[in-house]
Amino acid sequence: MKTLEKSKLTGNKTIQISGSKSISNRLLILESLFKNIKIGNLSNSQDTQLLKKALSEDTEIVDIHHAGTAMRFLTSYYSIMEGKTTILTGSKRMKERPIKNLVTALQNLGVEIEYLENEGFPPLKITGRKITQTTVDVPSNISSQFITSLLLIAGKLENGLEINLVGEVTSRSYIEMTLDILTKFGIKNSFTGNTIKVEPFTHNHSSIIDYEVESDWSSASYFYSFAALGRETIYLKSFYKESTQGDSAIAKIYEDFFGIKTIFTEEEHKLSLIPQPNFQFPEKIVLDMNNCPDIAQTLCVTAAALKIPFEISGLGTLRVKETDRLQALYNELKKLGTETEITDLTIQSVSFNEPKKNISIKTYQDHRMAMSFAPFCLIKELNIEDEDVVEKSYPDFWKDLDSLLET
């Protein structure tokens, strides 16, 4: 358990955040498939290291523990390893996270995949096949990672791939991030309406492409929360103004609702998070976060700490993350004195009361629960249970946080 004493934020400190987990994991799959990529500033997250380990080992049983991205990306990756049989498994929670839409899409493309325990869930037995079919339909309202998983192998298929998205597209920015990466490597693609087309990759593999991974905007979000509550400037490296990460939306969101202005210094790839003096907080925050659901927890905690009413929609994917994040938020915000109502897609505040005397935040094996609630220590002392859960995405979080706080 991590005890965070009631603290003050020290201003003008610089935090170097590791490379984006989302970008790093995409690049590792492409590197393994095409062998012509040199990756710089790779994420040091546990998820990325688990994926890297899986790709480097030639074993029949692959256990990716809690790494949901690895589970999804490797499902497609092993599907095109002709003649190879792989059993892909994970933790107890991973076996509760649905993967049926992706498996069905791959089966429709001709891949042989079996469920070894429960229908629609890992573990999977995958027998690699040569995919020659060119079109597939995929429901697009569950997880953009299912779609990205298919996109990452599409350039390796001799006929390419056309993906028809069925329904409203969730987390569209993550799909566009994947396509942007493919474009940078010369894999031609298009995204028109609800149809994505990827052409087969035909370039010379001997030409090495250097890719420096931008730092992780999801990880940056927690420092926006600290800046909003502590009203001191924080500097973050290494970020780009024209980011493809959907969670870069945090910059505009926190400027609009919390008065945190973001200044980009191009030559240093640095963000300056600057609280605006005399900022008038809104009477209510109403926001659709369909394109950036991973930063919803951070926003809710910031609003709760400032007692700003909020109504957040577009959160359909949060039910099937590391935990049921909407239920987890409902439970833990109550300890901060914030009563909420939740549906399958939304969370909204109902009332603000005094926080509990001894706050102990349960993390539900979810890294984002630990980090999104941490800024509340600027309001009141609290404990974070199972603090090591942050290793999944941001192993240095507590160390970096200690450099910013004084009690």
Q: Which residues are tagged catalytic?
A: 294
Helices 144-154, 21-34: inter-axial angle, 10-degree rounding: 30
C-alpha to C-alpha distance for 300 and 333, rounded to whole angstroms: 8
> Residue 73: which H helix or E strand, with range?
helix 68-79
Instruction: Choose among 397, 370, 396, 367: nearest CA to 385.
Output: 370
Query: Which amino acid, residue 9?
Result: L
Structure tokens at 385: 């249970």
Q: 3-class SS at 191? A: strand
Question: Distances from the Cα of 46 to the Cαs of 248, 383, 389, 391, 393, in angstroms?
Answer: 22, 23, 10, 6, 6
C-alpha to C-alpha distance for 289 and 247, rounded to whole angstroms: 10
Measured between its terminal Cα atoms, the distance across the chain in Å is: 18
Q: Is the dihedral of CA 372, 219, 364, 178 positive or negative?
A: positive
Instruction: Choose among 180, 168, 163, 195: nearest CA to 313.
Output: 168
Helices 325-333, 296-306: inter-axial angle, 10-degree rounding: 20
C-alpha to C-alpha distance for 314 and 316, rounded to whole angstroms: 6
